[in-house]
Amino acid sequence: MPRHTKDAEPDVPLYTKRVYQQAVPEDGYRVLVDRLWPRGVRKDRLRLDEWNKSLAPSSDLRRSFGHDPERWEAFKTAYFAELDRHPAATGALAERARNGSVTLLFAARDEVHNNAVALKEYLEGPTAPPANSNRP
């Protein structure tokens, strides 16, 4: 399924942040984009607005990537293909980002090679999903 061209709209801050970092008001809407709950974090202690597993890479893709920087480009290609199959989830997040700050939360130690960074790239890219793509 091909991705649509992003409308010419002003950019809105879209951040990535480890779940272990303190929440601040500037984070805006905080969404956990990992499939698994982060180790050592109590559910009642993590300030988040949404846990959206449909935005996380599949378990098979996550395992094959293994946070190996040498597999980063292949991971992104496969992950973007997975995201293309979830237009309602990516479109809703794109819409939210157009209306205010959004912080994509992740648990990985590597702050450069992780699914939140890849998702941010996907959402900000030239072929980003349109807002409200779940509507006819």
User: CA angle at residue 133 from 25 to 16, to 5 degrees?
Assistant: 30
Which of helix, strand or coil describes residue 31? strand
In a domain? residue 87: yes
In a domain? residue 11: no
Interatomic CA distance for residues 44 and 26, integer angstroms: 21
Per-residue pLDDT tens for 2-32? Answer: 333 334 344 567 999 999 999 999 999 999 9
pLDDT value of position 8: 39
- 84: domain range? 17-124
Per-residue pLDDT tens for 60-83? Answer: 999 999 889 999 999 999 999 999
In a domain? residue 10: no
Torsion angle, CA of 79/104/43/59, rounded to 10 degrees?
Answer: 10
pLDDT value of position 9: 44
In a domain? residue 31: yes
Return the sign of the alpha-carbon dihedral for residues 46, 49, 51, 56. Answer: negative
Interatomic CA distance for residues 127 and 48, integer angstroms: 27
pLDDT value of position 125: 82
In a domain? residue 113: yes
In a domain? residue 2: no
pLDDT value of position 89: 93
In a domain? residue 129: no
In a domain? residue 136: no
Report the number of distinct structural domains present in the chain.
Answer: 1
pLDDT value of position 10: 46
- How would you class 36 by CB atoms within 10 Å of its CB: exposed for 0-12, middle for 13-18, buried for 19 or more? exposed
pLDDT value of position 136: 36
Percentage, residues of the chain above pLDDT 70: 84
